[in-house]
Structure formats: structure tokens, C-alpha cells
Structure 1
Amino acid sequence: MLMDNACVHSQPGLGTKVRGAGFAEHEAPYVQSVRSGLDSYLFRLQTDGQARVLIGDRLLVAEAGDLVMFAPGQVYELRIEGNDADRTSTNDVLSTDLYLFCEGPWLDQWWQGRPRKTHLRLALHENCVYLWRQLIEEYRRPGQPDLELCDYLLRALCLTVDKYGYDPAAASPIPLAAERIRSYIEKHAAEEFTLRDVAEDIGLSVSRAVHVFKEAYGQTIVQYLQDVRLQMACDRMRFSNLNLEQIADLCGFRSYSYFYRVFRAKYGVSPSEFRQRAQ
């Protein structure tokens, strides 16, 4: 996780400047130490595995969902340590994270706007992760990135951190694996797929994926998929001229009779009655 000084981009008039951004994956022990103090802000979000980060005079164990933020001049030390007893393969990943080096007058004002914690528990809230990945994608775009877009994405990320990192009512306790399952379902709801397809996409066993999702959301993957498909069908009945058989097919239902049965069980009316009331 080294700052890419060769790729520092700037533009007059922007309130922030990205000096380095990316995704780091470590399969072997790793140490990074900046005892002389950082020369920019550093944000690091642990996405999987564990790492140890120096905060004050102690090493914090950072796990998935832990965000650490440092201001210019602060000492920084990162340690990723392997535990051979827990590893099933030499290819096992010890730690993965999203990182960001940045600076600028807007960031100075944002940082000073409230007492800043070095460590926040974000629980990998999907909004933060999405913005972070969008910023990385734009910053690393071949050629000249859109610096204005990077500026706005960074500001949005900082404000989102404020919302979910400092407001307990807004913070999400949902683990990343469960959010990834939910995202997969919503993306592929209109298609046919199996529990194995979902589990393989996020790198879990079927039983583990089922357990993680049920524990996080209080319903099964199949139940949630059915709810998403039914909501898609409701939207199409409200806002399209497609017939009910077409809607059932486009929303992933195997047959109209099955769609009719689950729709009536969910809403207490038939699809045709629902459509008449909605128009």
C-alpha cells in the first residue's frame, strides 16, 4: 500500500487532490512504517482478513469494516502477520483493504470540522465501499482521469464517512458478505440462478452463504429473491403496458401460475386486481 507519487494529479481550483488510491491484497506478512509522519491524509478500510495498525501507543487489530484515518504529520505503522496454524493454503489472503492518500484545503476544513477519530467502525457500508471503488476506478483510468469527478467523489466519500461512521443510527451492522449476496440477488433477480451460483460468486460455501444472509437480514436468500422479483413485477404493472404473462417472465418467474400464486400470497390480491387498483 504505497502512495503512487508518479501518478499524482492536480488541477487548480479543486478542493481535494488524490495522491494515491487502490486495493491492496496481501498473501504474505507485510510491514509499512512511516515514523517521520505522513505527508498527506491516509484513509484505509479493511475489507477482509486482519491487520494491525498503530494508533497512539498501541496496535489495533483491524478487521473487515474497520476504517483508520490519519492526518498529515501523524505516525503510521501497518503490520500484516501470518498465522500458519490458520492457513489452509500458501495462497490464502491474509489481508485486503481499500486505501487512499489525499490532500487539499477542502479536506483540511472537513478534518477540522469535528473531533476526528483515528478508528471508525463502518461495517463496510455499501455506500462507502461503492464511492471508494468508483474513486479508485476513475483515478486509475488510463490516460488523464477526470480530476473534477475525483474531487467530488472524494468529498462524497468523506461526507458519507461522517454519516455512517459518526451517526450510530445510520451505521450498518451488516457484514460485507451479506451485502454482497444482497447485491448479487438484486443484480441478477430477473435471471435464473442457484444458491451455488451466489455462494461461488462471493467465495463462500452454500451453507455459509445461507447462514450469513439469514443472520444479517432475518430471511432466507430465496425469500429475499422472491420479494425483489415481486417488487419488480409491481413496478412493471404500475408503469408499463406489458401483459401479466410478460411481466412474470421478465421478472424471473418460471410460469404465470407460480407468479400468480406467490403474488396473491404476498399481497392478498391477484396481479390483475393489483394492476387495476394501481392505475
Structure 2
Amino acid sequence: MDDIFIRFCGFSYHTKGYHSQDTEPLTRYLFRLQTEGTSEIVFNNERIAIKKGDLLLAKPGDTYELKIAENQRSGDYHVSIEGAWVDDWWNRSKKPSISNIYLDDRILGLWRHLTLEKRRPLSEENNELALHLIQALCLTLERSLNETAADINRPYAVTRMLRYIEEHATLGLKVDDVAEHTGLSVSRAVHLFKQTIGKTMIEYAQDIRLSAAIDQMKYTTMTLENIAEKCGFSSYAYFHRVFKKKYGMAPGKYRER
């Protein structure tokens, strides 16, 4: 981990225009995620309009300019890094220069945490934590890119539903909330999800809750009643019934094994 060097990391928000002046080839990796509004970049002499959710992954040798017009509103996270670990991570799979990813709480949370850590005074900065955060960010971005590639033949609304359910399955998820998140009627959202995924939203959420419960049973000493509550089940009796139907044994028996 000591061979990762974070040169800068931050969040920018522009409302009065901006134009980066450095047109020399990059000497480090640059990642930029558009989180709000729009912008324009000139990447390797190609002019590209950037919208919310667009992720730029640039490598050393690429050229990059950022242009934001006077009437544009633009917000983005960005980080510049280098090092042997980053080289290995970059080279192990193809990384698209520009892609549009789902802005979930995992990616935004990691980037926000890393940015805040790098803003600390040098005397208070935890370099080990920052290095783990940048590694986690790279791996999470890679997963998001792989999920995006797998979602090519899937309606974007269904992808949004999947990500929303994954984030909220253990928090008292309601079908109405999923539909509202994607801007669809409940009936349309329910039909589209079942048609595409082959199971209902509740069944998908149930699988996530059960997986979370198994982790809690394996790695904590929490009571089964507390685990059921923590993982989003309305009661222990309901958790017991669903678990036994799925795995063919009661939760207590599973935990003993």
C-alpha cells in the first residue's frame, strides 16, 4: 500500500465558468466523476460533453482540458494518483476512458471520505487510512464499470431499481420507494423488474437480507432476534420462516453448523 501516492483529491463546484489551462500530457492517473450538472472536456484532442454520472479515467500520457461555460452548473469529485499498485490495478482489466455509472452511496461515500481525509492538516492526516480509501475507491469503481458493462442489455430503470434495493434492503424497503426512485408507477416498476430479473423486488430484497443475516450469524455474537431486526425482517418468526424455506433448516441449526 505504501506504493500509492495521492497527489490531490477534492470536490469542485462551478457556477461562473472555468477553463483548466494545463494542456501538457498527464504524468499521473486522473479520475473525475461528474456528480452534478454538466461540463465539457477535451480528452486526447476530442471534445466530449459530460453529464451527471460520467466517469473519466485518464492515464499518464493522456491530454485533458476541462471547460465549463458561464451559464453551466457543474460539480465533480476528482483525484490524481500514481504508484505500482495503481499500475497493476489499471493493467489487469480494460478501463474505458469515459463511462456513465450509477451514483450510489458507496462510491460517493468513499470519495467524500477520502477528500475530507486529504483536507486535514498534515499533522492530523492518517496516511494509512487515505491509502486504504483510495484502494477501496479504485476497486469499487472497477466493480461499477463491470456492472455497467453487464447492464447493457438491461433497461436502465431496472439497474436503478437493483442498486436502490441493494442499498436499502435492510432498512425497511418499500416497493413504492423503489418505483418513486426510478420515476415509474408502482405497477410498471413491479412488472418491469419481474420481467427482467425473473423474481419480484421483495424476493430480491429477501435474498440480500438473508445473506446479511448469515454474515451476522457467522461473525458476530448477536442474538438471532437482533440479527433478524438488524437485517430488515419485521419479526423473528418471519425471519425464521423465510430462512428455513430458503436453506432447509432453522437459523439456530445453521448457526450451530
Q: TM-score, normalised by structure 1?
A: 0.57
Q: Deviations over 1:61-89 (max 9, x none)?
A: 33424324254783413336868xxxxxx
Q: Deviations over 1:113-135 (max 9, x none)?
A: 69997814363587765553442
Q: How many Å apart are 1:251 and its aligned residue?
A: 4.0
User: Is residue 34 of structure 1 aligned with residue 21 of structure 2?
Assistant: yes
Return the index of the structure with the highest Cα Rg.
1
Question: Where do 1:227-246 residues align within 5 Å?
Answer: 227-235=207-215
The answer on whether the counterparts of 1:46 and 1:96 sit within 8 Å (CA) in structure 2 is yes
C-alpha distance in 2 between matches for 1:246 and 1:74: 54
Query: What letter corresponds to residue 68 of structure 2 in structure 1?
Result: R
C-alpha distance in 2 between matches for 1:39 and 1:59: 17
Quick one: percent identity of the two aligned structures?
28
Residue ranges of structure 1 left out of the alignment (5+ in a row): 1-13, 84-93
SS for the counterpart of 1:228 is helix
Return closer, same or farther for 1:240/1:149 CA change in 2, 3 Å cut-off.
closer
Give the number of aligned pairs. Answer: 243
The answer on whether the counterparts of 1:38 and 1:76 sit within 8 Å (CA) in structure 2 is no
Q: How many Å apart are 1:46 and its aligned residue?
A: 2.6
Residue ranges of structure 2 left out of the alignment (5+ in a row): none
Q: How many Å apart are 1:145 and its aligned residue?
A: 1.7
Q: How many Å apart are 1:173 and its aligned residue?
A: 3.7
**What is the match of residue 204 of structure 2?**
224
**What is the match of residue 100 of structure 1?**
79
The answer on whether the counterparts of 1:164 and 1:172 sit within 8 Å (CA) in structure 2 is no
User: Is residue 184 of structure 1 aligned with residue 167 of structure 2?
Assistant: yes
The answer on whether the counterparts of 1:40 and 1:101 sit within 8 Å (CA) in structure 2 is no
Question: Where do 1:64-83 residues align within 5 Å?
Answer: 64-69=53-58, 71=60, 74-79=63-68
**What is the match of residue 119 of structure 1?**
97
The answer on whether the counterparts of 2:27 and 2:60 sit within 8 Å (CA) in structure 1 is yes
**What is the match of residue 115 of structure 2?**
136
SS for the counterpart of 1:34 is coil
Return closer, same or farther for 1:228/1:256 CA change in 2, 3 Å cut-off.
same
C-alpha distance in 1 between matches for 2:23 and 2:201: 49
CA-based RMSD: 5.0
Q: Deviations over 1:194-227 (max 9, x none)?
A: 4566788xx765748x949939982554333333
Q: How many Å apart are 1:34 and its aligned residue?
A: 2.0
C-alpha distance in 1 between matches for 2:136 and 2:217: 35
C-alpha distance in 1 between matches for 2:96 and 2:71: 24
